[in-house]
Amino acid sequence: GIQVEQSPPDLILQEGANSTLRCNFSDSVNNLQWFHQNPWGQLINLFYIPSGTKQNGRLSATTVATERYSLLYISSSQTTDSGVYFCAVSLTSGTYKYIFGTGTRLKVLA
């Protein structure tokens, strides 16, 4: 089946720093999402981004489907950005069964 790899697995930043998280996938995908899981376990959808670039405040994401990767950019990081970031991809249209990567654990220090 499809492999979803995220890098780096762990990241520690000083508040105010910028970072780039990467998601590589082994097959063509129709759909891709980025999620943030906060320290209390809540999963929040950040972007639905099957292709192209989107921005939402300090966060932006780019997916290059033809090259099988997606990037999540975090600028001017804050302690509230801490948690785990998951990339999830879906191969098939119509059912939207997403396969999740193992995540990037981010810790932002004050």
Can you give the binding site for other proteins, defined by CB under 8 A? 4, 31, 33, 35, 41-45, 47-48, 86, 88, 90, 93-103
Name the minimum Å distance from CB 16 to other proteins.
Answer: 29
Q: Min. distance of Cβ 30 from other proteins in angstroms? A: 9
Task: Decide whether 29 or 108 has the Cβ nearer to other proteins.
Answer: 29
Give DSSP secondary structure letters for 46-83.
EEE-SSEEEEETTEEEEEEGGGTEEEEEE-S--GGG-E
Tokens of 28: 């063509």
Q: Residue 57 or residue 94: which is nearer to other proteins going by CB?
A: 94
Q: Least distance in Å: CB of 15 to other proteins?
A: 26
Q: Over the range 9-24, which residues count as b (16 or more CB within 10 Å of their CB) and which as e?
A: eebebeeeeebebebe
Q: Are 91 and 29 in contact (CB under 8 A)?
A: yes
**Nearer to other proteins (CB atom), residue 81 or residue 86:** 86
